[in-house]
Structure 1
Amino acid sequence: MHKLARSLSLIGAIVAATLIATATAASAAPARADGHRVTVMVHGFDREADISCSGAWNSARNLLNGNGWGDVVTFGYYNKATNCDLRLRGTTDTRIQEVGRQFAWTVYYLYSSKDIAIDVVTHSMGGLVAKAAIEGVNRYGVGKTPPDISGLTVDPDDIGATDWPRDWPPFLYIEDMVTFATPHQGIGSALVTACAITHEQCSDMRPGSGFISWLGKQPQSQMSTDYTFLASRHDDTVSVDSATNKRTAHHWALYDENASGGTLSHTSIRNTSTGDWQVEYGGSASEEGESSTYAAPLVRMMDGLYDQQAQ
């Protein structure tokens, strides 16, 4: 059983019974805290739809918990996903935009409507889900009157059963987002092309798909959102340009080898917290990247969530 800290008292209440919440209109966006926000973690695509949230995020979660982050929450979006604090019972045919809409309402219901800002950490397709939540709100929710959701009940193990309003929330407060190996520009491999025949989420992830074209680069939540994209030159699933969105993030890092010649795969980049790594890094304010010895990806994740403005 995961240790749930103060923000998860909200979730504990709905686990015990069901949480009834009354949304209020936002008075003003929360100020940047550059500190230990509630952090929500979103996993990536899984062809069998049976990913374990704890298995995907144990290394990252333990590191955050050990360094002052008490409020770390996992969000899963498959019906066979296990050990998730919050779960949408979707399938690999649930379009990424719809997963993003469900994620947006979940974040709004638990946090934004209560003027609580959060940070988000994602792996692979999870980054597209989180960005879709912000993009959908910006396109279809902003400017609308906050809905009365006081009569809703939410089961954290079946988020999709909630009778959400049919459109999108009116605002979201997401301060920082860190993505590991996310295909911001899609995945052009033959494997994904074949997968797209039978799995709608793979179809969405093809370069130039309607979804990728709709999504945009770094959509901003209503308190602005600072992005850090972490990628590996040795990722055999997502290209360098896609994982860094052609180096357009506020902060990006492209990992090569460590001192022993070790490399990071599409999966291991989200689990690695030790070693000195050769990395090219930069940001949207830089004309080009620099190369140097750099901290491990999970350490850089913490930088992306804490005191980012000083980076």
Structure 2
Amino acid sequence: MRLRSSFAALLLSATLALTATTTAGAATAPPREDSTQRPVFLVKGYTPGHACGSKWDSAGTLFDRSNWKGTLHRVGFYEEDDAGCDVRIDRDGKGTVDTSLKDLGRELAWKIHDMYSAKGQTVDLVGHSMGGLIIRAALAGYAKGDRTWPDTLYVEDVVTLGAPHKAAWLGALCLSNLQCREMYYPNGTFRRWLGPKLHQAEGGTDWTLVSSNADFSVSAGNGAPTDIGAQHLVRYSARAGLDHTQLRTIRRVAPFPLRYTNNGGAWGGQRDGAAPLRVTMNALYWHSRW
């Protein structure tokens, strides 16, 4: 795998065997393919009271300049979220910090189903911080066969950026609300329901977890753990200087030292790795190698 800034450089990468499994559903999943046509749902993190749509402005600029054809959907779930988030997953637009991540995951799954899966189309998902847990919840409920979830869900690729897959110490600063407790407690009700492994949508889902050793909200090990079933892990060196927010915002071409592993293989390293948003876009594009 070459985590550089252009698709052409990545063509030299070793082919990766897909380990995604197929979940039974109502129809045959669309074929996996290298494509810039897929819609992408961008799920932000814990941001009560902040502007919503602007959280993904940097990603939107990069995808547009790279001629990505699929629609970029920015996902909101707080009552105060602005119209810049065109997809809302809080019922009646009344979401608060006490809205469960499980409930948000269910609503995200239904949005994906109603907008695309029901029409035989697959999508890609990107989650920053808490948004990665919302995405996990969306796929978990489907994979578990929960009857309150849609019976068809097509998600080809998922990338999480600084998501607290194990735990987030920053959640300790706001334990008075449910979302922080669900992020913080590794053995809480939500975490036990979520399970220790990543889940799959129908037809298989390729997971890439990105983290940084300069992220003091979610450690590199918690953001890209080796034991939850992700096909690809990327951990930026502390020398790259990428903090929690910058995993969501940095797109510029520059040398970003990193380490990576594919399908449980040996860790490799690059001193001139790509920026996190470029890694994200590359991971969404390739269906069998990147």
Q: Same fold (TM over 0.5)?
A: yes
Structure-2 separation of matches of 1:73 and 1:123: 14
How does 1:1-311 map onto structure 2 within 5 Å? Answer: 26-36=26-36, 37-46=38-47, 49-70=48-69, 71-82=71-82, 83-87=84-88, 88=90, 89=93, 90-141=95-146, 167-187=148-168, 189=169, 191-196=170-175, 198-205=176-183, 206-216=185-195, 217-246=197-226, 248-257=229-238, 263-274=241-252, 275-286=254-265, 288-293=266-271, 294-311=273-290
1:245 Cα deviation after fit: 2.2
The answer to whether the 8 A contact 1:280-1:290 is kept is yes
After superposition, the Cα gap between the structure-2 partners of 1:29 and 1:262, relative to the gap in structure 1 and judged at 3 Å, is: closer
Q: Which runs of 5+ in 1 are unaligned?
A: 1-24, 145-166
Deviations 1:23-63 (A, max 9, x none): xx9431111122111111000012xx223232210001111
1:237 Cα deviation after fit: 0.5
After superposition, the Cα gap between the structure-2 partners of 1:310 and 1:140, relative to the gap in structure 1 and judged at 3 Å, is: closer
Normalization by structure 2: what TM-score? 0.83
**Letter aligned with residue 43 of structure 2:** V
For 1:121, what is the secondary structure of its paired residue? strand
Give 1 or 2 for the bigger CA radius of gyration: 1
**Letter aligned with residue 270 of structure 2:** S
Structure-1 separation of matches of 2:213 and 2:29: 37
- The answer for the alignment partner of 1:11 in structure 2 is none
For 1:99, what is the secondary structure of its paired residue? helix
- The answer for the alignment partner of 2:16 in structure 1 is none
**Letter aligned with residue 205 of structure 2:** T
Structure-1 separation of matches of 2:64 and 2:51: 19
Structure-2 separation of matches of 1:262 and 1:138: 36
RMSD of aligned C-alpha atoms? 1.7
1:262 Cα deviation after fit: 5.0
For 1:73, what is the secondary structure of its paired residue? strand
Structure-2 separation of matches of 1:60 and 1:179: 13
The answer to whether the 8 A contact 1:52-1:84 is kept is no
1:195 Cα deviation after fit: 1.2
- The answer for the alignment partner of 2:11 in structure 1 is none
Q: How many residue pairs were aligned? A: 254
Deviations 1:2-21 (A, max 9, x none): xxxxxxxxxxxxxxxxxxxx
**Letter aligned with residue 278 of structure 1:** P
Structure-2 separation of matches of 1:132 and 1:230: 18
Deviations 1:180-210 (A, max 9, x none): 00001122x2x423412x2100111122222
- The answer for the alignment partner of 2:20 in structure 1 is none
Structure-1 separation of matches of 2:33 and 2:73: 19
Structure-2 separation of matches of 1:91 and 1:237: 21
1:289 Cα deviation after fit: 1.1
For 1:69, what is the secondary structure of its paired residue? coil
Normalization by structure 1: what TM-score? 0.78
**Letter aligned with residue 219 of structure 2:** S
The answer to whether the 8 A contact 1:43-1:76 is kept is yes
For 2:166, what is the secondary structure of its paired residue? coil
For 1:310, what is the secondary structure of its paired residue? coil
After superposition, the Cα gap between the structure-2 partners of 1:240 and 1:262, relative to the gap in structure 1 and judged at 3 Å, is: closer
**Letter aligned with residue 44 of structure 2:** H
